[in-house]
Chains A and B, each alone.
Chain A
Amino acid sequence: MGLFNKKEKQDDFQIDTSKLRMDEGAIFGQAVPTSEFSKDNSFGNGYNQSFDSFGENSADLFKNIQKGHKEKCEELRKIRKNMATTLGIPSVVRDEPCNYNGHCSGTCPACYMEERALMDRIYELSENGMINLMYSKEIKDLENKIEHDLWEASVFEGDMEGEIADGFGIDDNKDTDSTEETKE
């Protein structure tokens, strides 16, 4: 038996989309209102990594990868912001792009804290009957098992043994087909 019982899942699941439906249009189409929440974009402190050890010739490569990750960071922030607005808690997500200049893989502990705030709100709405989120407790339990060192990585297994550069695991915002060919 797994963590989730399939029969219950089939029988019980329903979601009231009139109360909360965060579909693609809702998330990507809305203007993001501002709030008085932190204007301090110094997130990521204590999360600095240096590429110095990779040598000078790698500087441009890392710069390009880093640019992609920063763009990803901002796209994810916008999604979180729209979610937060939809959920009635806009202030839990930063209003402005992160201006942290150190290494970023697209997500970091600061982003993670915002994600958790959103999930807590979803659980709260679920518990209050505002939405019918199947297995909210089980999902929450699973989240408690998350290895927090995964915060740092948009690719968190792909860099095993350094093979990432030769595989689809390279995650620099290229639209690489995972199953087939590419060219550097």
Chain B
Amino acid sequence: VSTFRVQAISRHRFSTDGKGITTLVGLAGCPLDCKYCINKKILHTGKVKDMTPEELLSKVIIDYCYFYATGGGITFGGGEPLLQSKQIIEFIDILPTNIAVNIETSLNIENSSEIESIINKVNHLYIDIKTTNTKVYREYTGKNNENTQTLLNYIVKNNLQAKCTIRIPSIQNYTTKSDIEESIKIIKQLGFQDIDTFEYIIKD
């Protein structure tokens, strides 16, 4: 039986992680090493809880009436939730109706049929691309962004842009105004309409 590695679950979130009231399920593990990551300490402590998809469902179902009423549901964040794509697919397959599933991701994952399956099944993807400047991306995350580009191209090829919000943050000491403008320009050229720009706030 596959199991989720859960960092945390946060209930009753109001439109911060998707439409309506959502429950945020933070999954452990991330391929990136972002300099300002809020969850870095948690990600490296190994303090996670293993849950089967059914066990997770039996916990989050407690707020079913709110999901039903507001069009909300479950948002998988982390960490990088797509590292646990198999578990998410199993979870979606046993999910009652009227519960949305959203993913917060960097898309910096090796492409696979499971990833493509998730992209097709979820209600919405919040994709934090950081920046399209590959040099800056590597400096900030410690990784290159080829995987992100590949999966963005998959989304474009399958005309799934409408279910995506692209996050382009201003990253202090890393991205410049022109970096951000160039990222927005490229993302718009790919057909994405929903672009969220904001400033990372640095934890001391």
Contacts and interface: CB of A to CB of B under 8 A. Distances in A.
A168 B8 contact: yes
Contacts of B6: 157
Nearest to A144: B58
Interface string B6-21: 1111111110110111
Given A145-B58, A180-B37, A181-B201, A158 B26 contact: yes
A155 B9 contact: yes
Contacts of A66: none
A175 B16 contact: yes
B181 interface: no
A147 B93 CA distance: 23
Interface residues of B, number: 62
B1 to A, nearest CB: 11
B201 A182 contact: yes
Nearest to A145: B58
B203 A181 contact: yes
B62 A178 contact: no
Contacts of A164: 8
Interface string A9-41: 100010100000011100110000000000000
A98 interface: no
B78 interface: yes
Interface residues of A, number: 61
Contacts of A166: 38-39, 41-42
Nearest to B20: A24
Nearest to B66: A79
Contacts of B49: 157, 160
A163 B65 contact: no
Contacts of A147: 59
Interface of B: 6-14, 16-17, 19-21, 24, 26, 34, 36-39, 41-42, 45, 47, 49, 53-54, 57-59, 61-62, 64-66, 68-71, 75, 77-79, 90, 93-98, 104-106, 128, 169, 198, 200-204
Interface of A: 2-4, 6, 9, 13, 15, 22-24, 27-28, 72, 75-76, 79-80, 82-83, 106-107, 115, 118-119, 122, 133-135, 138-139, 142-143, 145-147, 150, 153-158, 160-161, 163-164, 166-169, 171, 175-184
In the A-B complex, the 6 residue pairs with the smallest Cβ-Cβ separation, listed nearest first, are A158-B8, A2-B94, A178-B77, A169-B8, A181-B36, A183-B201
